[in-house]
Amino acid sequence: MKGLRNLPGLVLVVLGVLGTPAPAQQARVPVLEGAGGDIRTAVAQPETTSQASGGYVRSVEPSLGPLADPFGLRAALKPRGVEYSLTYIADVLGNPVGGLRRTAIVEDRLNLRLNLDLATIAGWQGATLHANAYFIHGTGLSRYAVGNLLATSVIEALPSTRLYVLWFDQKLLDGTLALRAGQLAADTEFIVSQTATLFVNSTFGWPAITGLDLPSGGPAYPLATPAVRAKYVPDKDVSLQIGLFDGDPAGAARPGNAVDPQRLDRTGTNFRTRDPALVVAEAAYTYNTEPGSRGLPGTVTLGGWQHFGRFDDTLRDTAGLSLADPSSNGVARRLRGNAGVYGIVDQTLYREPGQDDEGLSAFARLAMSPSRSSLVDLYADGGLAYKGLFGSRPDDTVGLGVAHARIAGRARRADREAILYGGVATPVRSAETVIEATYQALVVPGFTVQPDIQYVLHPGGGVANPRDAGGRRIRNAAVFGARATIQY
């Protein structure tokens, strides 16, 4: 509990920020691209985000005075086709109620992005090189204190310095077709909700159903993998994309391997290419995006994924016996393939008069993976976000989100059979739900402070607390904290 002593002071700082007038505005340039690279349809897309799909909006550079561009490096490189940016995120989170144990943590991440415009550098039209690296520090609250499946922070990861993505992109057919190859991450472009990028919990970025059902958590933060992706945008309202990924970013799917995937690929440079493939395909349709449209803008997305590898049966061994049966050989039956489908709706519900990026947006996602090896077979999330709710602070964004991950029927049955054969009454997993309320306050353009509250119901899906002698479930957890984000 010692770390929780810092929370009251942090709350006072946040309240002080919220009580100040809005900062002087930079000249606004309309943000036309939404999270994930499609046209923007969520007016409540936040100023800053930690989600991998989030775009780079405004920089703190104009507020830094003489320190804005040391040695004039940025100004010298940009006309030559070289651009770089930095994003620093720091979280202070604590769980004074519930979880495995009560504590508070500090974690932070520095993100360095580099873009090379090959048209400017070498006259290669439509070609771009991009690299992204992370410098991660601190302790994860979910891993060490809450014990939940839907990690309380999207930046939570083991401390490391790692390469995230490194790719080459070529635009063809007047820019309607983009081919990308290199080390890619699916969470930057697939299964993305623009409105959900506001939230701190990781599941509102890469949803828990893919993170828990795919080897090594799938190609998503903090692990990317060699891949190719094709995206076709025949007009501004339709986009079609498909990605072919190495199916195991860290090699965690090897039989008998119990090592944390992040420890198997500590630097992001494994570059695995011989694992069974993962294919993700997605179609998105936007509407009411023309100036003067009577209706409000929105996006409907449908997609699915297929993994061609082998997965452990959650219930049966290689002889067909229950894994809980004392006569079982303890080796899970290997099943071929796993798959899932999903749908997303992002909808602007209200737009402030005369404003393109202030108002109320909503999102809803539903995903299913009913295979015999899935830990989670049904996932749903949704929420609301309002940008400019208070007239004096038009760049602040407030949001409320809910996410629910249901433990698959075979996994629940495995828990019941463990009770039957073991003769000891232990909890049967059912589902995990998280409710999050957050407020992102703009200090100056490119710098935000974000108080956050989460409530986690049935951490781990309702598993027994290993620290409880009576074998009771992990208690529901309340998480309080704040985030600071600086974009340069």
pLDDT in tens, 129-164: 999 999 999 999 999 999 999 999 999 999 999 999
Q: Check: CB of residue 386 under 8 Å from CB of residue 360.
A: yes
Strands (E) across 288-370 are located at 298-317, 332-351, 359-368
What band does 7 get if pLDDT is binned at 50, 70 and 90?
Answer: very low
Say how many CA atoms lie within 13 Å of 13 toward its Cβ.
Answer: 15
Higher pLDDT, 317 or 406: 406
Range of the domain at 159: 2-24+32-487
C-alpha closest to that of 185 among 309, 307, 90, 268: 268
Provide the whole-model pTM: 0.90
Rounded CA-CA distance 382/364 in Å is 4
CATH code of the domain in which 51 resides: 2.40.160.180
- The count of structural domains within the chain is 1
pLDDT at position 30 is 54
**Is the Cβ–Cβ distance between 182 and 415 less than 8 Å?**
no
CA distance 409 to 138: 36
Confidence check: pLDDT of 2 > 50: no
Average pLDDT over residues 353-367: 93
- Judge whether residue 20 has pLDDT over 70: no
